[in-house]
Structure formats: C-alpha cells, structure tokens
Amino acid sequence: MAKTALITGILGQDGPYLSKLLLAKGYKVYGMIRRYSNPNFETLDYLEITDKIEFIEGDMGDESSLMNVVRTVRPDEVYNLAAQSFVGDSWQMAKLTTEVNALGVLYLLNSLKIFSPTTKFYQASTSEMFGLGNTHGYQDEKTSFHPRSPYGIAKVYAHWMTVNFRESYGLFTASGILFNHESPVRGKQFVTRKITDGAARIKYGLAKKINLGNLDAKRDWGFAGDYAEAMYLMLQQDKADDYVIGTGQNHSVKEFVELAFKYAEIPDWKKYIVIDPRFKRPAEVYELKAKPEKALKILGWRPKVTFAELVKMMVKADMKRVKTLLV
Ligand code: NAP
Ligand code: G4F
C-alpha cells in the first residue's frame, strides 16, 4: 500500500518541492492549509502538482483543528513546515510567531501522541536557532544556540519539544536544522528573491532601485529542492535524530547582489541599490555556515546545486516571469 504523508505549510516554498519528491516516490500526499475558501496555489502550480495533493484544513494556532487533521489522516509521516517564517516580521509579531512556531508544534506533537503515535515526525528547525552561536566559525549539531529574534527563540522551543517527545514518549521525531535555502518560488520578502525579482524588474524598466538592509550579512545558501531530499531521508532512518543541513559555504548579501546583476546583465549594480534602515534588524545574525558532516555520513545527503547555479536559476526564472508582465 502507498505510504501517506501529511505536509503542513504546503503552500510555502518547501512544501511543493517536498511534495514533488514524495509523489515521485509513490506517496499519497495530504497538504494542510489554513483556508480552503481562498487558497494561493502559486507555488504548487509552479511545480505542476496542485491537482495531485489532497488538501485538509487546519491551523497551527488551533489545537483542536490539528487533532482533527491527525485523527482523520493518521499518516505514516508528518512534515511540519508551517510557520511564520519571516525573521524580519517576528519582532513586530512576536506573540503570533510564538503561537504558530512554538506552541503550534506542541499541539501537533500532542495530536500525534494521542491519535497516531507510530507516525514519523519531521520538524522544520533552522540555523536561526544558532544566531550568534558558532564553533570555530561554523555551526553543527553540537553548537550552542544563541537565537537573535523572536522567530529563532520560538524555533528553539519547538526543537527541544521535538527532542523531548522522542525522549519522553518514544515517538519518532526528527529535527532538521536547515540553513537558508532558496528557489524561484521563494517568498519575495526574503532577501534573495527580493534581489532577483528586483533585478529582473530593473532590467525590463519596471523598477529603478532595490532597497536593502545589511549587505554584509553572510548566509549559507542552498537550493530548496536539495533540502527537501534531506527532510525525506531523515524520516527513512531506523532511529530519529537531529541533523544540520547546509552547503558548508557562505556568501554575503552583497555577493548575491553582484552575481544576480551579472546574470541579469545589468552593469554597475551599485547604481541600483539603496541602503534603507527599515530593512536592518534590531539584532542581526551576522554569519551562518553549516558543517553538515553528520548528514553527509549518516543520511548520505549531498547538496547538488552550487551558489552560482542557484543565483542563475532564480534570476532566469524572474526574468522570464517579469517579461510576461510587459505584454
Ligand atoms: P514559507 O514559504 O514561509 O511557508 C510557510 C507556510 O506556513 C505557508 O504556506 C503558510 O501558509 C504556512 N503557515 C503560516 N502560518 C500558519 C498557521 N498558523 N497554520 C498553518 N499554516 C501556516 O516557508 P518555507 O521557506 O517553505 O520554510 C518551511 C519551513 O522551514 C518553515 O517552518 C521555516 O521556518 C523553516 N525553515 C526555512 C528555511 C528556509 O531557508 N526556507 C530554513 C530553515 C527553516 P499560507 O500560505 O497560508 O500563508
Ligand atoms: O532572506 P532573509 O530574510 O533570511 P533569514 O533572516 O536568514 O531567514 C531565512 O533563513 C532562516 C534559516 O537561517 C529561516 F529559518 C527563516 O525562516 C528564513 O527562511 O535575510 C537574510 C539576510 C539577513 O541577514 C538580513 O538582515 O539578509 C539581510 N538583508 C539585508 N537586506 C535583508 C535585506 N533581508 C531581507 N529579508 N530584506 C532586505 O531588504
């Protein structure tokens, strides 16, 4: 019989890539969405899989809705990708971010414990949990957490709750500590897509500049499609565990801008970038760089898309999309 997977946050960036992978492996995929009355299928449509998903309504802020979803589906695997995932908003929306990203995970774990204790659970943890924490300039599973945003703090709670349900009740709960991963369906509030969309608009005369914050911040950027594979692999192990997933290399926001403008064939990128204090954060995470040795060794996972290929892929997709707006 086909395996079943429930994905929360299926309408975001990662949900579609993970769904595509699971569908190709023969899974039946259930996608939890907040409002069936007005869903935005743009990211699933981009990967041409919308009609292959069975949707079910639920909200991470509402425990009874999660109980209902779990009791109805009783999937083999749950991938919890739902979150208020934009770090920049999390200071203004600290309570909502905590309710969804921290308490929501507790509700979901409780629902599994009561209605489907043999389900394997994946929690979308993040390198933001490390914040200022590092081990000789990189982060791995042993690095201490020093989160710098309400988002990071809520994710630390969810991470430890995931570990605790494993240790307390023997549930199969894995926490994937993923570094930044991007794609052509990345939300436009995140810096990479803001840059590639902005560069494409400048190229076709639809915009004159891009307002950005801290150009010196460094991130370990990979491709979302590669990271979906790591999520899947974590739930195929005999034993639940936690894994750092990243490329092991980092680049600054400035480097991303330079490369994006190069691929968009716009000379002199400096003419188009405005430093805008509104996009600087009250507390910045200056530098993240993964050491994903454990994942490489135990999961056999490898990132396939390089930084340059990622920037090129995103610029190309945005150029194609923006061009259609001209007619
Ligand atoms: P995303 O594009 O922001 O998608 C998040 C999804 O969560 C959205 O579809 C959103 O639904 C849903 N959601 C938000 N609040 C909800 C609620 N109260 N109830 C149910 N669903 C809710 O995020 P992503 O980039 O795909 O990332 C997936 C997960 O990985 C997130 O948990 C994120 O924090 C984590 N993560 C991401 C990265 C990265 O670099 N992308 C790195 C590490 C960890 P709507 O469509 O209805 O708004
Ligand atoms: O693209 P960002 O908003 O991503 P951030 O904050 O690193 O968070 C993303 O990755 C996390 C994993 O590490 C995820 F957990 C999280 O859900 C999300 O997917 O910002 C990246 C960097 C920051 O240092 C920010 O200060 O870019 C800097 N930046 C500079 N100018 C900007 C801007 N970020 C945004 N969003 N917009 C700007 O104009």
Query: pLDDT tens-digit profile of 9-59?
Result: 999 999 999 999 999 999 999 999 998 888 999 999 999 999 999 999 999
pLDDT of 89 reads 98
Q: Report CA(190)–ligand 2 centroid distance (Å).
A: 6
What pLDDT, on the 0 to 100 scale, is given for residue 76?
98
Mean pLDDT of the chain: 98
Residue 316's CATH number? 3.90.25.10
> Do 160 and 118 belong to one domain?
yes
Which of 190, 184, 212, 202 has its CA nearest to residue 309?
A: 184
pLDDT score recorded for residue 13? 98
- Work out how many domains the chain is built from and give that number: 2
293 within domain boundaries? no
Give yes or no: 287 in active site: no
193-202: burial string, b at 16+ Cβ within 10 Å, e else: bbbbbbbbbb
Q: Which helix (H) or strand (E) holds 176?
A: strand 173-178
Q: Dump pLDDT digits (tens) for 170-184.
A: 999 999 999 999 999
- Co-location of 16 and 138 in the same domain: yes
Answer for the pair 8, 78: CB distance below 8 angstroms, yes or no. Answer: yes
Phi and psi at 213, nearest 5°, equal -95, -115
Same domain, 67 and 141: yes
The domain containing residue 269 runs over which residues? 188-219+250-286+306-325
Tokens of 295: 């994942």
Do 199 and 140 lie in a common domain? no
Query: pLDDT tens for residues 201-225?
Result: 999 999 999 999 999 999 999 999 9
Helices 14-24 & 224-234 angle (0-180, nearest 10): 60
- Which of 14, 96, 175 to mutate for ligand 1's pocket (most ligand atoms within 8 Å of CB)? 14
* pLDDT at residue 1 is higher than 90: no
pTM tops 0.85? yes
73 and 214 assigned to the same domain = no
How high is the pLDDT of residue 38? 86
- Same-domain pairing of 166 and 236: yes
Alpha helices in the chain (DSSP H): 14-24, 42-46, 63-73, 94-98, 104-115, 150-169, 191-203, 224-234, 253-263, 293-294, 307-325
Q: Which residue has the tokens 């560069």?
A: 199
Q: Is the pLDDT of residue 135 over 90?
A: no
| The token pair that represents 292 in the structure block | 């994903």
For the chain, the distance separating the N- and C-terminal CA atoms, rounded to the nearest angstrom, is: 48
Question: What is the structure's pLDDT at 252?
Answer: 98
pLDDT of residue 35: 83
Active site residue 126: yes
pLDDT tens string 86-113: 999 999 999 999 999 999 999 999 999 9
pLDDT of residue 327: 76
Q: Is the CB of 100 under 6 A from ligand 1?
A: yes
Q: Is the shortest distance between the CB of 251 and ligand 1 below 6 Å?
A: no
Ligand 2 atom 23: residue of nearest CA: 217
Same domain, 72 and 93: yes
Instruction: Tell me, using a 6 A CB cutoff, whether residue 191 lines ligand 2.
Output: yes
